[in-house]
């Protein structure tokens, strides 16, 4: 897994090359966008929706279920994202979208989804297969950028920002790994309480997922300002097993930052420690990818300390085997 994380910038470059070669027809009369995918395939949808939330003129919904909303019709752009191409829930949503005559584009490495896309003569972008899906966020996220730029819902400047992100991550590689090792020592065998200051919930979710899969530990996440209206009341008892981790960007809203400044001493009083991870870079994409990369490294180093295999997902394999009986 560490080799795959180290290869992240090369993956982004390859993904950019794939995107540049992909030929997609223009869409018309799109009134809403749905990105359907789960786990490592679905988190890219959450992140891209946050990246373009202040510029996209139609609503974007990230769907993580067997079903799709009732409003889906021929004016819906529905992006199917499944790395393996065989994700049970996404296949179900895909078939329902076909029956609703949605405008569908698939991002996958193969499997049944690629077969269906070809069978129904739908647009698709094929990405390299054979890796753990969670390690391929670069492939899927860049193709989502391609689709939304091509369809007119995202600024083509994102591709310039992508190149800047690659340069930044390569420049900061050793510093990122050093900081990640230090944070990993503080989080190992603790319960991470992950907070986003509003604009980076997708990054927080990604980190939670990576702690679960790579580090084989439980944790939770929440987002400001919503947590101020519920979870904050739960901070009443000292618990040395809790470590708060926040993801900070230069795009955090001023009032939300004030909220966090007030809450931070409360977290410090009742937890073991509070760790602020500060993004580097100028653009949103640079900062998002920076935070994703440092989060991935942290979870790999935790796996090293715990002497476990970050790649194995035996319990998920067991679940799929049991589901196959029905």
Q: Which residues are catalytic?
A: 213, 229, 320
Distance CA 20, CA 230 (A): 45
Nearest to 190 by CA among 296, 299, 297, 278: 299
- How far lies 212's CA from each of 206, 221, 311, 313, in Å? 10, 12, 11, 10
CB atoms within 10 A of CB 132: 16
- The CA-based angle 257-260-261, given to 5 degrees, is 85
Is 278:175 a contact under the CB 8 Å cutoff? no
Is 117:101 a contact under the CB 8 Å cutoff? no
CB atoms within 10 A of CB 182: 12
Nearest to 277 by CA among 252, 254, 314, 300: 252
- The CA-based angle 151-152-157, given to 5 degrees, is 115
Distance CA 107, CA 104 (A): 10
Write out the E strands in 55-187.
60-63, 76-82, 103-108, 123-126
Distance CA 239, CA 271 (A): 5
Is 165:289 a contact under the CB 8 Å cutoff? yes
Distance CA 229, CA 225 (A): 7
Is 99:72 a contact under the CB 8 Å cutoff? no
- The CA-based angle 52-53-59, given to 5 degrees, is 110
């Amino acid at each position: 897994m560490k080799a795959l994380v180290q290869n992240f910038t090369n993956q982004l470059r390859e993904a950019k090359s794939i995107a540049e070669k992909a030929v997609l027809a223009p869409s018309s009369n799109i009134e809403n966008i749905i990105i359907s995918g789960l786990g490592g395939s679905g988190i890219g949808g959450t992140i891209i929706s946050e990246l373009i939330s202040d510029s996209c003129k139609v609503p974007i919904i990230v769907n993580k279920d067997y079903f799709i909303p009732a409003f889906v019709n021929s004016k819906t752009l529905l992006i199917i994202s499944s790395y393996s191409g065989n994700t049970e829930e996404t296949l179900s949503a895909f078939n329902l979208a076909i029956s609703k005559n949605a405008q569908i584009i698939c991002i996958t490495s193969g499997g049944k989804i690629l077969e269906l896309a070809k069978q129904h003569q739908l647009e698709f972008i094929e990405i390299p297969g054979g890796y753990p899906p969670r390690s391929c966020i670069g492939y899927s996220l860049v193709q989502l950028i391609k689709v939304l730029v091509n369809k007119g819902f995202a600024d083509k400047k994102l591709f310039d920002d992508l190149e800047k992100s690659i340069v930044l991550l390569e420049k900061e590689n050793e510093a990122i790994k050093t900081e990640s090792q230090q944070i990993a020592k503080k989080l190992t065998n603790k319960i991470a309480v992950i907070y986003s200051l509003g604009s980076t919930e997708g990054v927080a979710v990604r980190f939670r997922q990576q702690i679960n899969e790579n580090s084989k530990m439980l944790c939770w996440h929440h987002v400001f300002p919503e947590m101020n209206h519920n979870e904050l009341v739960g901070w009443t008892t000292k618990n040395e097993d809790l470590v708060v981790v926040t993801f900070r960007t230069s795009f955090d809203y001023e009032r939300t930052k004030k909220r966090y400044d007030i809450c931070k001493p409360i977290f410090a009083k009742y937890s073991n420690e509070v760790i602020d991870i500060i993004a580097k870079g100028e653009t949103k994409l640079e900062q998002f990818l920076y935070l994703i990369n440092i989060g991935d490294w942290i979870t790999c180093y935790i796996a090293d300390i715990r002497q476990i295999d970050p790649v194995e997902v035996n319990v998920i394999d067991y679940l799929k085997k049991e589901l196959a009986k029905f």
